Amino acid sequence: MRILLVIATSLEVAPLLSSLAPVAERSSRLQAFRRDPHEIDVLTTGVGMVATATWCSRTLVTGDYDLALNFGACGAFDRTLTLGTVVHVTTDRFAELGAEDGDAFLPISELGLLDANEFPFTAGALLNVAPPESPILQSLVSVSSITVNTVHGNESSIARAVETSAPQVESMEGAAFMYASLVHGVRFAQIRSVSNVVERRNREAWKMQEAIRALNATALELIDTL
């Protein structure tokens, strides 16, 4: 199987990369590896949805991939998700795509600028209805996510995000990855590990190292079961 592995930074998947056999450097952002029987290209997009969408589309249009996988960390709105929990994001949204109207937020579909069911959206969301078959993936908690340019750290904006989108987690890249995968018709999965609670910024309470360890262990198991 030929797999495209998409990451924002190499820090998040350093243990996984050390378990892969390097083959070649295709570009400054794309490296080829192998873990039998799979050929694995690792795309490091950089942080944020614009970089993710751009580099994913550029790579998917020139490559012939059977599967795309996005691995990374996330923050949790859902406090039943303990730090270090690895989740499968099956629904994602661009939370800031719309307009402010005083204290209210109007999604772009309500502005008449985008139909809520215009491809690749379904009711305003990006859905993964055909993830790859894997017992590891099936064992993960399926969650809904939002993708943002600015991670939430203010009580009022957190409350608004919960009210408008009811997300369980958030990231800065996930929806962009899903959008590109859907447009290019590539089967995909977005897998993330919870590193922090979405609250006023409190780095001391984060469990980034624990999240990275759990994410990488799951990622390796997933690849080996495909």
> Where are the chain's structural domains?
2-225
> Is residue 37 exposed (0-12), middle (13-18) or buried (19+ Cβ within 10 Å)?
exposed
Cα gap 86→73, rounded to integer Å: 9
Q: Tell me if 166 sits within 8 A of 144, measured CB to CB.
A: yes
Q: How far is residue 14's CA from residue 125's CA, in Å, rounded to a whole number?
A: 31
Q: Model confidence over 145-183: pLDDT tens digits?
A: 999 999 998 888 898 888 888 999 999 999 999 999 999
Is pLDDT at 108 greater than 90 in this prediction? no
Architecture of the domain whose range is 2-225: 3-Layer(aba) Sandwich (3.40)
State pLDDT tens for residues 40-57: 999 999 999 999 999 999
Q: How many CB atoms lie within 10 A of CB 106?
A: 12
Name the percent of the chain lying above pLDDT 90: 81
Q: How far apart are CA 41 and CA 36, in angstroms?
A: 13
What is the structure's pLDDT at 105? 84
Across the chain, what does the average pLDDT equal? Answer: 94
Please tell me which residue, 205 or 21, carries the higher pLDDT value: 21
For strands 188-197 and 126-127, give the pairing: unpaired
Give the pair of three-digit tokens for residue 96: 């800031």
- Rounded average pLDDT over 97-113: 85
115 φ/ψ angles, rounded to the nearest 5 degrees: -70, 135
Q: Mean pLDDT throughout 69-98? A: 96
Average pLDDT (123-148) is 96
